[in-house]
Amino acid sequence: MNGNFTINQRGYVSAATLATTVYGHDRWKAGASGGDYSFTQLASDTTITIASGKSLIQVVEDKNIEGGSYTLSWTGTATGRLTKNSATPSGNFAVSPITVTGQTAGTTMCVEFTGANAAGGSSLATNSGTLGKAQLEIGSSATGFERVDYKTALSRCQWYCNVLNYTGNQMVAIGQVYSTTAAIAYLQFPKMRAAPTITMPTAGSSAGNICFLTASGNPVPGATIGIAQQSDCGAYISGGGSSGLVAGNATALQIQTGASATIKLDAEL
């Protein structure tokens, strides 16, 4: 997924430090020694350059594995490896294409890319390398890169990560007050692979913060916020403040004016 690096919901910045297991472009996470890479984002196919001694991994969900033979192909000077029946990369790096046989249906597999590795061993490359149009497909031969429209590519990535973007003064959810200092609201989102880890904006009344509102539409003083319950398609957001709420009233959870903010939902492998 996202083999041409068009989707970057987390906003990874070119050449920034990417620590082990942290995600850059959607579906691509840093390997055991980090995964720093540089790029110029294009509207369509984007080529990245993986820094020396770094790597990028994509784990393929078990539900998408048919089993049998698989072929990995890509463009650029990077080398890669394809590991069957495991989410942990192993084996030697090689140039495109790579074919494995004996993949078990319904079992996770993974790919890993590092820089240009003339030695072809299992060590990460000491040279940088370019990577683009990465494609994993059933069968023993590589075919042309299968490009999908942007909406489809984004939707596939949002099964694993969904970043909700809000402007200042925008309501996130409608809720109910149940005491003078506490309220709850339900945040609904598209169904994901699993109940995600939810990262909320900072609670408060400053620009870009999030908080519940009083009946008069003002931020609740001493705002607090947290996740009460969640599923793979929604979450109850609880919180309130030190005063200003009236039990039984409706309320809204709102991003405070003056800055934009995001809510990140992460259900990655």
User: What integer pLDDT is reported at residue 225 of this predicted model?
Assistant: 97
Q: Is the pLDDT of residue 118 over 80?
A: no
Contact 211, 264 (CB under 8 A): no
Using pLDDT thresholds of 50, 70 and 90, give the confidence band for residue 120: confident
Q: Mind listing the pLDDT tens digit for each residue in 234-247?
A: 999 999 999 999 99
Architecture of domain 29-158: Sandwich (2.60)
Q: What are the C-alpha distances in Å from 220 to residues 71, 204, 206, 224, 244?
A: 56, 8, 12, 9, 6
Q: Is the pLDDT of residue 137 over 90?
A: yes
Contact 259, 202 (CB under 8 A): no
Give the mean model confidence (pLDDT) for residues 6-30. Answer: 98
Percentage of residues in the chain having pLDDT higher than 70: 100
Using pLDDT thresholds of 50, 70 and 90, give the confidence band for residue 19: very high
Contact 100, 69 (CB under 8 A): yes
What is the spatial distance between Cα 28 and Cα 152, in angstroms, rounded to a whole number?
17
HSE of 121, CA atoms in CB hemisphere, 13 A: 5
Q: Is the pTM of this model over 0.85?
A: yes
Contact 47, 76 (CB under 8 A): yes
Q: What are the C-alpha distances in Å from 8 to residues 16, 32, 42, 129?
A: 14, 21, 11, 20
CATH 2.60.120 in the chain is located at 29-158
- What is the average pLDDT score of the chain? 97
Contact 106, 42 (CB under 8 A): no
Q: How many CB atoms lie within 10 A of CB 65?
A: 19
> Which parts of 105-260 are beta strand (E)?
109-114, 129-138, 161-166, 171-179, 182-188, 197-199, 210-212, 224-230, 234-240, 250-255
Q: Mind listing the pLDDT tens digit for each residue in 66-114?
A: 999 999 999 999 999 999 999 999 999 999 999 999 999 999 999 999 9
Phi first, then psi: give them for residue 134, nearest 5 degrees: -75, 130
Beta bridge partners of 72: 98, 136
Phi first, then psi: give them for residue 77, nearest 5 degrees: -90, -5
Q: Mind listing the pLDDT tens digit for each residue in 39-57?
A: 999 999 999 999 999 999 9
